[in-house]
């Protein structure tokens, strides 16, 4: 899902500044020896950037993320019981559209498949109603199993799964909320982390201490490589 820096989503930006064809664009003297193809690329890039500039001098662009944000949003809505059809449909449409040919999902544009992102995307699509034997889902689960399954995913992903009993809280690292009391001179105190990390770590310590579990709507056996691994559901 994309969002512009002013909070709007998806809408194309209307050029407000004159295009480069209306301005005096020249290739710098230092580029005099550059092949003509490169010089044309410079002109086209300059033309594009100027065409996107606002008349007041600033630029506005899309701020994009990977599918884990939309997947985790669906997981949270399921956990809180506030899912709605329109949001689920839109998020699932985006997640499906980002799937790679090999069945996985990446964490950045053009990147390799990522195990944790693929698991979260897969579970989100299951919540959206995609059947596990659908071709795109079967390809994803096969990719996950081939790379160690849920057991090999990141801790953050397994915390999300533990909220529904798809992973055991006892098999996750302890994150005591008392970490907040560490003074700043103690290594790994909360202020050693960036602000965005603190906003994640502190809530996680509370969730880890409470260990809430909501009934899972389906098992995830197809994402495990070994049935003996923690998976409370039959």
**Rounded (10°) angle between helices 155-162 and 195-210:** 40
- Average pLDDT of span 195-217: 93
pLDDT, the chain, mean: 85
Query: What are 86-128's pLDDT values in tens digits?
Result: 999 999 999 999 999 999 999 998 899 999 999 999 999 999 9
Instruction: Measure the CA–CA gap between 189 and 173, rounded to whole angstroms.
Output: 17
- Average pLDDT of span 157-185: 93
Query: How far lies 163's CA from each of 51, 52, 75, 87, in Å?
Result: 48, 44, 9, 21
Instruction: Measure the CA–CA gap between 67 and 150, rounded to whole angstroms.
Output: 17
In degrees and rounded to multiples of 5, residue 196 shows phi and psi of -65, -35
CATH class of the domain at 67-223: mainly alpha
pLDDT the model gives residue 226:
78
Q: What stretch(es) of the chain map to CATH 1.50.10.20?
A: 67-223
pLDDT the model gives residue 186:
93
Instruction: Measure the CA–CA gap between 133 and 43, rounded to whole angstroms.
Output: 50
pLDDT the model gives residue 61:
78
Categorize the per-residue pLDDT at 185 as very low, low, confident or very high, splitting at 50, 70 and 90: very high
* Burial readout 26-43 (b: 16 or more C-beta within 10 A, e: otherwise): eeeeeeeeeeeeebeeee
Report CA 108 to chain centroid distance, whole Å: 8
pLDDT reading at 134 higher than 90: yes
């Amino acid at each position: 899902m994309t969002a512009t820096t002013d909070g709007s989503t998806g809408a194309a930006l209307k050029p407000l500044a004159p295009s480069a064809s209306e301005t005096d664009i020249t290739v710098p003297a230092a580029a005099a020896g550059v092949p003509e193809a490169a010089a044309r690329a410079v002109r086209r890039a300059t033309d594009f950037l100027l065409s996107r500039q606002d008349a007041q001098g600033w630029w506005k662009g899309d701020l994009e993320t990977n599918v884990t944000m939309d997947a985790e949003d669906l997981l949270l809505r399921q956990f809180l019981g506030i899912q709605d059809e329109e949001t689920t449909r839109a998020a699932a449409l985006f997640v499906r559209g980002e799937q790679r040919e090999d069945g996985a999902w990446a964490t950045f544009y053009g990147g390799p498949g990522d195990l944790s992102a693929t698991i979260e995307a897969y579970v989100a699509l299951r919540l959206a109603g995609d059947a596990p034997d659908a071709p795109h889902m079967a390809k994803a689960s096969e990719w996950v199993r081939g790379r160690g399954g849920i057991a090999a995913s990141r801790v953050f992903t397994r915390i999300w799964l533990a909220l529904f009993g798809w992973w055991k809280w006892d098999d996750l690292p302890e994150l005591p909320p008392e970490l907040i009391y560490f003074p700043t001179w103690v290594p790994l105190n909360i202020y050693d982390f960036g602000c965005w990390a603190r906003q994640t770590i502190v809530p996680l310590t509370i969730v880890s201490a409470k260990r809430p579990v909501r009934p899972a709507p389906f098992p995830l056996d197809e994402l495990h490589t070994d049935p003996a691994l923690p998976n409370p559901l039959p």
